[in-house]
Structure 1
Amino acid sequence: MAETDRVGSQFGPYRIDDVLGRGGMGVVYRAFDTERDRVVALKLLNADLANDPTYQERFRRESRAAARLGEPHVVPIHDWGEIDGVLFIDMRFVDGENLRAVLRRDGSLAPTRAVAIIEQVAAALEAAHHDGLVHRDIKPENILLGANDFAYLVDFGIAHAETDTQLTQVGTAIGSVAYMAPELFDSDTVSPATDIYALTCVLFECLTGRVPHPATTISAAVKAAVLNDAPNPSAINGEVPQAFDVVIRRGLATEPAQRYPSTTALAEAARLALRDEVADADATTVIARPDVPTTMLAPPTIVPGAADPPAEYAAPQYFSPTRQPAPQYYAPYPTIPPEPPRRGGRGALPVVLGAAIAVVLLALVGLGAYWLLSGSSGGDSTAGPTTPTVTQTITPGDAAPQSTPTATTQAGPPPGATECAPGVAIGTSITSCPFAQAVRDEYLRTGPTGQARTIVAYSPVTGSSYSMACTPEGSVVACRGGNDALVYVY
C-alpha cells in the first residue's frame, strides 16, 4: 500500500490522518491513538523492505535504542511492535520544524543560536553514547526545533550499538554523505567519534549556510572529506569569531582519535568560541584574548513565525506546521526575592515592653508631683486643679498601625484531576503521584509560584529525568511534558 493510500485508514488502534515525511526505512504519519486519546507520530516500515531481515532489525533497534534513552532532547518513544505484518514505532508528536527547513529559509544562523542548538543535540548524543549507541545519521533533517529552539534528535533507524554485528552490506553507505566521517567510507569501526564529526558538520553549516565539503557526486565528497581540510567558517561568514576555526578543524579531524573526546566537549568548545576564546587540546584550559570580556552570554535569539519546509523536502519531520508555545529552555530561572523583615516579631518584643514600662513610670512621677504641689499650696481655693501630663515614648517604626494579614484561600485541583498530596494533583492516568510530587518540589525550589518556567524533574518510578513546561492557568500552575505527563501545582 502506498503511503498516501493509508491516509484516512485505520492501522491497529491508530487512525492515520496525514503524511509527515519519508525516511530511509519508512514513512512517518500524523496519527491519532484511539486507545490513549492522543496525537502521535507513527513510523511504518517501507512496504518493499518489510521482508528484508536487515531492515527489519534496523527498525526494531531504532525502537529499542530510542525508547531506553530518557534524555529530554531525544523524542520519546511511546510504543513499538508489529501489526498485520507491518513494523511500527509510535513517537511523540512534536510541534515545530526541522533544522534543514530553517537553514533553507535563513541561509545561516547567528553564532549564539547555532551553538545553543548544537549544545542540546550534543546532550542527546552524550546520553546515547553512554548507553553504547551511535546514531550514525546526524544531519539537519533529524534535528527538530520547537518554539524557543528547543531541539529534539530523531530517527535512530540506523543507530548502531558498538557491540552489535555490522548491519550494512559491503559497499553500502548509510547516512548522508556530506556528514559522514571518513572512517565510514572504509567500513571502519563505528564509534562516538563518528557522531562528533557529523555534529561538527552541522555546526559548520549553521554558521555558514553550507556543508564543509560541497560535492555533486559521492566520489567527490569522499575525496574532499579524506584529502582536503574544511575552509575556515570565519572566512565564509565575517560574523563568525575566528575561534570557531579551531573548533571546526578539530571536530573534522580525519583521525577519530584527534577529534573532541565527546559531543559535550565539542559543545563546550563552541560556547567558548562565542567569546573568541579557544580551549586547549583537552578542552579544559581556556586561552582568552585579553580584550575580550568574559560576561554571561545572552539567551539565543528567538525567531518567531517559522515557515513550513519547502514542498520538495521529503525527509522525516515528526511535526505539525502550527507553532505552539514551548518551554523557554534558555531562560534562566528567576531569582527568588529575599523575604522582607518581619515587624512585630520576637525582636520587637523587648522594645515594646520597655516603652510600656517607661510610660507607667512617667505617669507615676507626674502623679506624685501633683500631690506634692497640692499639699504645699495650703488648700488655696483660687488655685485651679492641676492635670498631670503624661508623656508617651513611641518607638520609631511602630507609629503606623500594624496591618492585619489577609487570609488567602488555598487553591485546589481543577475538576477531573486526582489529588496526590497537599498542593499537587495529576491530570492523566499515566502520570504517577511520586513524579507529580517531584515536579511540585522542583517548581517551588526554582522560583516564585505563579510564574511560567521550564523545570527538569526526576521520576522515582522510571529512574529518569524529564523536562516539564509549567504555565499558570488560573489559580493553579499546569506542568506538561515528560511522557505526556500533566501535573497541577497549587
Structure 2
Amino acid sequence: MPWIKGQLLQGGKYVIEDVLGQGGFGITYKALHVDLNQTVVIKTPNEYLSHDPDYDKYIERFIQEGQILARLSQDPHPHIVRVIDLFKEGAIHCLVMDFVPGEDLFKLVRRRGALPEAEIVPCIRQIGEALAVVHQAKLVHRDAHPGNIVLRNNGKAVLIDFGIAKELVPKTLSSTGNAGNQGFAPYEQMTRGSREPMVDVYCLAATLYYAITGERPTTSLARKLDNTYLTPPKQINPRMSDRLNQAILKGMALEAKDRPQSMQQLLELLEAPAVVSPPSVEPDYRKTVMAPPSVDPVYRKEVFRSKAKPESVGIPDKPPTTSPRTIPWGWLAALFLIYLLASYFLAAHKAPYMAWAVTGAGVVTAAVIRAWVVAVDGAWFWAGVGAMAVAIAVAVAVIRAWAVAVDGAVAVDGAVAVDGAVAVDGAWAVAAAVAWAWAGAWDELQLEFSKVHTFLILASTSSLGLGLGWLGYRIFNPGS
C-alpha cells in the first residue's frame, strides 16, 4: 500500500508529505529531505508488480536508467529535472528527484485555453533540446506529454517524471497506462513498446498540438486501426503559422519512418525563420546654402556621404514642413464690402447695363494687367485702373438716376450740368477706396500666393461683392 504522510524513509532522511500521483506502473510522492530542508519527489514502482515474472529485469532497468540520469545531473541541464538519489527502502526501489514548482501544461491550457505561438514554441524547443541530451545518453523519455512539462514562474520549461518506471509493466501498457495520455503516444509505443527516439518526437509534437489548439489530438491507435482523420491544428487555430502547422503534422506522422528521425531534425522544423535585416545605409547630411539677397533666393541641396564614422552625430534634422499660408482676410473683407456697396448703389439708381459692364470689365482688367504686365510695376497703379472703371460706372449710374428724376430733355441737360460734378466727386471717392483695398490685398496675397492665384482671389472677391450687392437690393426692394 502507498506510504502515508509523515512516514520516515532511510532512517529519517526523508519524510513523506503527500502523494502527487499514482498509476498502474508506479507512485510519485512529495517528500522532505530533512538534512537539506528541501522538498523532493520520490518515485517508486507499484508493489503488485513484484509478482510479474520479469520483475527483476524491470528493476534492473529501473536502477540502470536511474544511474544514467544521476550522471546527467552532475552537469545539470536547465530543462531536465535533476536526479539526486537512488536507494532501496525495504524491498522497494526509490528514485529521488528535485521538486519543480510551477504549473504543468495540462493545467495551464485548461486554465487559459490555446496558447499563443510566440509563447509556447520557445518552451517546446527547450524541452526538445532537453530530449536531445537524453537521446545522446542512449535514453528515451517515452512520456513527454503535457503533464510532464512544468513551466516555472520565470517562463522556463522543465521536463520531469522520466518514463523509466514504465519499464516495470508489460510493454503493451507502457507509456500511456493513463488513457488520458494516449493521444500523445505513437501507436508503435503502445503496441510494441518501442524505445526509439521517434517516440519522443511524436510525443513532443502531439504536446505542441494540444498547447497551440487547446484540444487533444486524435489517438494514433484510432488513426492506425480505424483510419480516423487527424485534424490539422491550423483548422482549429487559424492564427498559427503555416510553418508551425506543417512541423506538427510532420512530427505526428503515423509511421515512424515519415517523422523527423531525430529530435534535432524536429527542432530545425520548429526554428523560426531568420529575419533578414535591410542593408545598412550610411546617414545623409544635408547642407542648405542661400544666395546673396540681391537676387531671388536660391537654395542648393548638396548631399555628403560620410566615409568614416563622424566624431559626433547629432539628431538628424526633421524633414521641412510647410507652414500654413496667411490669408489677408481684412483686405479681402474691405474689398468685398466696397464692391458690395457700389453694386447696391448701382442697382438702387437703376444703372444701365453699360455701367455694370464697365464695372465688371474694370475688375478683370485690373487683375489681368497687374498679374501679367510687368512694364509698369506697383500695386497702386494697377489698382487705380480697376478703381477708375468703378468710378466711371458709379458716376454714370448717379447721373442717369438724377437725369431720370427731372422731366424733359432740357431738364436732363440741366441735371447733368448741375449735378454731374457732384456725382463725379462721389464716384472718385469710391474709386479711391477701391484702389486702396485692391493695392493692400494684392501686396499681402503676393507674399503667400502666385500671381495666378492672387488674380483669381481678387477677381472672385470683387465679382462676389458685385453680385451680392445687386441681389441684396432686389431682396430688400422687391417692388422696385
What TM-score do the two structures reach when normalised by structure 1?
0.49
The residue that corresponds to 1:449 in the other structure is none
Distance (Å, rounded) in 1 between the aligned partners of 2:26 and 2:173: 18
CA distance 1:263–1:159, change in 2 (3 Å): farther
Distance (Å, rounded) in 1 between the aligned partners of 2:173 and 2:24: 13
The residue that corresponds to 1:77 in the other structure is 83
CA distance 1:221–1:199, change in 2 (3 Å): same
The residue that corresponds to 1:45 in the other structure is 45
CA distance 1:38–1:21, change in 2 (3 Å): same
Secondary structure of the equivalent of 2:163?
A: coil
Amino acid at match of 1:142: N
Percent identity for Structure 1 against Structure 2: 32
1:102-141 correspondence to structure 2 within 5 Å: 102-141=108-147
CA contact (8 A) 2:29 2:41 kept: yes
CA distance 1:27–1:189, change in 2 (3 Å): closer
The residue that corresponds to 1:195 in the other structure is 200
Distance (Å, rounded) in 1 between the aligned partners of 2:168 and 2:17: 33
Distance (Å, rounded) in 2 between the aligned partners of 1:60 and 1:7: 25
Distance (Å, rounded) in 1 between the aligned partners of 2:182 and 2:214: 17
The residue that corresponds to 1:174 in the other structure is 175
CA contact (8 A) 2:149 2:158 kept: yes
The residue that corresponds to 2:431 in the other structure is none
Distance (Å, rounded) in 2 between the aligned partners of 1:219 and 1:252: 12
Encode CA deviations 1:434-487: one digit per residue, 9 max, x unaligned.
Answer: xxxxxxxxxxxxxxxxxxxxxxxxxxxxxxxxxxxxxxxxxxxxxxxxxxxxxx
Amino acid at match of 2:69: A
Corresponding residue to 2:9 among 3, 8, 11 = 11
The residue that corresponds to 1:97 in the other structure is 103
Bigger relative contact order (CA 8 A; separation at least 6): 1
Distance (Å, rounded) in 1 between the aligned partners of 2:169 and 2:199: 15
Query: Which structure dedicates a bigger proportion of its chain to helix?
Result: 2
1:213, distance to aligned residue in structure 2 (A) = 0.7
1:383-398 correspondence to structure 2 within 5 Å: none
- Give the number of aligned pairs: 267
1:26, distance to aligned residue in structure 2 (A) = 2.5
CA distance 1:36–1:51, change in 2 (3 Å): farther
1:24, distance to aligned residue in structure 2 (A) = 4.4
Secondary structure of the equivalent of 2:39?
A: strand
1:235, distance to aligned residue in structure 2 (A) = 1.2
Q: Which runs of 5+ in 2 are unaligned?
A: 278-480
Q: Which runs of 5+ in 1 are unaligned?
A: 161-165, 278-285, 287-292, 296-490
Query: Which structure dedicates a bigger proportion of its chain to strand?
Result: 1
Amino acid at match of 2:47: A
Secondary structure of the equivalent of 2:264?
A: helix
CA contact (8 A) 2:26 2:165 kept: no
The residue that corresponds to 1:67 in the other structure is 70
Amino acid at match of 2:222: A
Which is further off, 80-89 or 180-189?
A: 180-189
Encode CA deviations 1:172-229: one digit per residue, 9 max, x unaligned.
Answer: 4532321121322442753111110111101111110112216xxx9636535xx355
Corresponding residue to 1:220 among 216, 219, 222 = 222
Distance (Å, rounded) in 2 between the aligned partners of 1:262 and 1:72: 21
Amino acid at match of 1:67: A
Distance (Å, rounded) in 1 between the aligned partners of 2:115 and 2:139: 29
The residue that corresponds to 2:253 in the other structure is 253
Distance (Å, rounded) in 2 between the aligned partners of 1:230 and 1:81: 44
Distance (Å, rounded) in 1 between the aligned partners of 2:191 and 2:31: 40
CA distance 1:57–1:99, change in 2 (3 Å): farther
CA distance 1:109–1:65, change in 2 (3 Å): farther
Larger Rg: 2
1:263, distance to aligned residue in structure 2 (A) = 1.9
CA distance 1:171–1:156, change in 2 (3 Å): closer
Secondary structure of the equivalent of 1:88?
A: strand
1:33 aligns with 2:33: yes
CA distance 1:82–1:173, change in 2 (3 Å): closer
